[in-house]
Amino acid sequence: MKRLLRAGLALALATTMPMTALAQHGGGGHPSEGGGGARPAPAPAARPAPAPAARPVQPGFSLPHDVARPAPAYPARPSAPSAGRPIAPGSHSAVPAPGRPSYRAPQPLPRNYRGPVVGNPQHWGGWGWNHGRAWYPAPIYWGGGFWGPYALGALTGALLLGSIIDYPDQIIYPSYQVQPLTPGAQLLQDYNLTQTPCGPPNLVVIWGPGDSVICAYPNNMVSAGNYQVDPTTLSLVSSPTPPQQ
């Protein structure tokens, strides 16, 4: 038993010592540096040690430009999503204006409104579409990041894919291309929908988080009209019928 203990101690020392030595001497003894031949090792050069940096290193993290000045404001744009607002199924609707179907901006839904649900064909439940992980919008991104990592401050017209115009309120809701590998892309894939620029009538208009909107061609599962997303089940909820005038 003592032999076993001695062997263990020897192993410990053998394992620890070389690594410590290498760490302290910067890999000394490497053959290319003259440490492995029969000749005696040359005396170390009499170079003076490099002078320590004159400037003291600031402890912690140094982000002087970011902590010294206030953040610049985002460029003004219509319908910027409200920051940090959680997705509440049924919290918005797109009520088409009379004579202008699918061109009206979302309006608050009546309390306890339960619109017809076009169930997701995958039958996701309990955030199953996201491996059981709850999804919350990220405030500084268009649609909370549901359709893609579009930062509000970096959106350009080049990314635009049509828009929805709210004529009575004079508000334009721009639409952008859904990025692959996003919840929005999965939604379209589950319903076999193909995105198309918003604007023309008789499209599937899907309102996402933060007043974001995208449009798709109708198919045998989803007919033309206004929908919003129930993020828990990744389902489409039909908006209420527009008021008749």
Partner 1 sequence: MSFKKCALALAAVFCVLATLAPGAADASGVVRVQQSDGSVREYPQTAMRWTGQTLWLHSADGKGVLEITTAACSYAVNLVRCLPYAITLHQNGAKRSIAVAHGTIYMNFSTEAHRVPYSSESLAAHHLLVAIRTQHGTYITVRGHVDEVKE
Q: Which residues bind partner 1 (CB under 8 A)?
A: 1-2, 4-5, 8-9, 12, 15-16, 19-20, 23, 59-67, 69, 71-72, 130-131, 133, 135-141, 144-146, 149, 151, 153-154, 180-183
Q: Which is nearer to partner 1, 4 or 46 (CB)?
A: 4
- What is the DSSP track for 79-146? TPPPTTPPP-TTS-EE-PBTTBTT-SPEEPPPTT--PPEE--TT---TTGGGTT------TTBGGGGS
- Minimal distance, residue 7 CB to partner 1, in Å: 9
- Minimal distance, residue 10 CB to partner 1, in Å: 10
Q: Which is nearer to partner 1, 37 or 61 (CB)?
A: 61
Query: Distance between CA 26 and CA 20 in Å, rounded?
Result: 10
Q: Which is nearer to partner 1, 8 or 218 (CB)?
A: 8
- Which residue, chain included where needed, has tokens 């902590």? 67
Q: How far is CA 69 from CA 73, 119, 121, 139, 244, in A?
A: 12, 49, 50, 21, 53
Q: Which is nearer to partner 1, 38 or 181 (CB)?
A: 181
| Cβ atoms of residues 201 and 166 within 8 Å | no
- Minimal distance, residue 63 CB to partner 1, in Å: 6
- Minimal distance, residue 178 CB to partner 1, in Å: 13
- Minimal distance, residue 200 CB to partner 1, in Å: 29
Q: Which is nearer to partner 1, 108 or 149 (CB)?
A: 149
| Cβ atoms of residues 170 and 179 within 8 Å | no
Q: Which is nearer to partner 1, 62 or 241 (CB)?
A: 62
- Minimal distance, residue 8 CB to partner 1, in Å: 5
Query: Distance between CA 38 and CA 173 in Å, rounded?
Result: 80
**Single-letter amino acid, residue 166:** D
119, exposed or middle or buried, with CB in 10 Å at 0-12, 13-18, 19+? middle
